[in-house]
Amino acid sequence: MKLSALIPSLCLLVAVAGCGSSQTSPGASDSTVVLATVGDVQITTQTIRQELDMIPPYQRASFETPEGQRVLLDHLIERELLLQAAEDAGLEQDSTVQAQVELAMQQVEFARQRALITVYYEQLVVDQVQIPDSAVTAYYNQHVGDIYHQPAQVKASMILTADQAAMDEVMSLVESGSPFDSTAMDLSEHAPTSSLGGDLGWITADSPLPYLGSQPEIAAALFAAAPDEVVGPFTTEIGMVLFKVTDRMEDGAQPLADVRESIVNILKPAQVNDYFQNTVMPSLRERYEVSVNEDAFLPGPDVPADSLMSLAQSMMETSPERAVRYFQLYVERFPDDAKAYQAMFLIGFTYSEYLRDYDNARTAFNAMITRYPDSELTDDAQWMLDNMETPIDSLIPQDSTGVNG
């Protein structure tokens, strides 16, 4: 297969003048040898290394040999010849060339922006958030009985033999002081663990033993043993097995020091998001004077009155400021509608009950009473004016015992 078929994308990855270097720097390393020249352009060993770095790893090996680098050099020469010929033909002004260059410049700009945003977010947002020890401790105490409860465990190693004679040899060596792990490597017939010195890892009480399944008798003996104690041998379905308990952990809570980092990783995302939304963004909006034309996002003039009213009511609890604007828009667009007085009442109600903006609430209720003195909600508007900011408990009638009823 020709090189041009294997790596056609290289021409797109290298800048227009990147196929070679115009000249070798006076202080260049001795390893930078000129391999070929095409006109005034030199192709050096450094050029070859740069090209190799851009070839996918699964293709690169075939071009790292001397023969492969020679093929790569031919490709670079071909590419430089085509480049110089295209420039001489005046194709830099071709619309397709200019469009591709413009697209590449846009991609470079997008990459610059992404890099800036990423580094800013990491350094000036994420790195600024520190989880206090009190929060870590509180989370730990909250979950010490579940997430961070640690059941009793033993760490053990084993040696497997096919028969009693082989086990006798193992027992003789271990009892004479031969290290258990080296004996396992030499004599254990259990391939998955012999190369590990017989290591089985940590075993939890009441859990199946690795490679052996449920073995209540063996498990009980292991959990009764002290570290460095040899246990067995036992006869199992896969042969005779000798164990050594190498470590143990008692039932109880994992130490806070062991899980501190994981707790920080659990707590930090929410803290970072809170800091980002409630501190960083408001500060940046103020610094750079953000102004949004909210009216550009209002419902269009073709939205009917009933739909506009429903939209406004649906926002009262979740987005009260926007609900007020929608009610105002309703009054502006449909001043003679039968429900216009309701929209004016709900403006005051939203200000009072959802925004706690009592000055604007009073203005809205008074405007509604003035404009619709005989509506069915006029008395309600007056009641809101008379009782605004009054604690709700004081408005509930009490029986003779003083209990609200």
> What residues does each domain of the chain span?
3-92, 152-250, 294-395
CB atoms near residue 376 (< 10 Å)? 10
pLDDT above 80 for 14: no
**pLDDT greater than 70 at residue 237:** yes
d(C-alpha 354, C-alpha 363), whole Å: 16
Phi, psi for residue 323 in degrees, rounded to 5: -60, -45
Residue 371 makes CB contacts below 8 A (sequence gap 6+) with 341, 344
pLDDT at 390: 78
pLDDT (0 to 100) of residue 393: 60
pLDDT the model gives residue 233: 93
343 has a pLDDT exceeding 60: yes
CB 100 within 8 A of CB 15: no
Of 83-97, 100-114, 159-173, 248-262, the poorest mean pLDDT is in 248-262
What percent of the chain is modeled with pLDDT above 90?
70
User: What is the model's pLDDT at position 394?
Assistant: 57
**DSSP assignment of 209-225:** BTTTB--HHHHHHHHHS
Return the pLDDT at 399. 55
- CATH 1.25.40.10 is right for the domain spanning 294-395: yes
pLDDT of residue 28: 41
21-44 tens-digit pLDDT: 433 333 344 558 999 999 999 999
pLDDT in tens, 273-292: 999 999 999 999 999 999 98
152-250 fold: Chitinase A; domain 3 (3.10.50)
At residue 31, the pLDDT reads: 58
The residue with greater pLDDT, 221 or 400, is: 221
Alpha helices in 65-127 (DSSP H): 66-88, 95-124
Distances (CA, A) of 248 to 155, 164, 196, 241, 327: 6, 29, 19, 20, 69
Which of 117-126, 173-182, 232-241, 387-396 is the most confident on average?
A: 117-126
Please write the tens of the pLDDT for every residue from 327-341: 999 999 999 999 999
**For 28-37, 166-175, 363-372, which range has the lowest pLDDT when averaged over its residues?**
28-37
Number of CB atoms found within 10 A of residue 189's CB: 14
Mean predicted confidence (pLDDT) in 96-108: 95
What pLDDT score does 304 carry? 95
Confidence of residue 401 (pLDDT cuts 50, 70, 90): low
Predicted TM-score (pTM) of this structure: 0.57
Residue 12 has pLDDT above 50, yes or no: no
CA gyration radius for the chain?
A: 39
Region 263-280 average pLDDT: 95
Confidence of residue 214 (pLDDT cuts 50, 70, 90): confident
- Please, what is the average pLDDT of the chain? 87
CA distance linking residue 190 with residue 182, whole number of Å: 14
pLDDT tens track for 289-330? 999 898 888 999 999 999 999 999 999 999 999 999 999 999
| The pairing of beta strand 199-204 with beta strand 252-253 | unpaired
Tokens 């004996």 belong to residue: 183
> Do the domains 152-250 and 294-395 sit in the same CATH topology, yes or no?
no
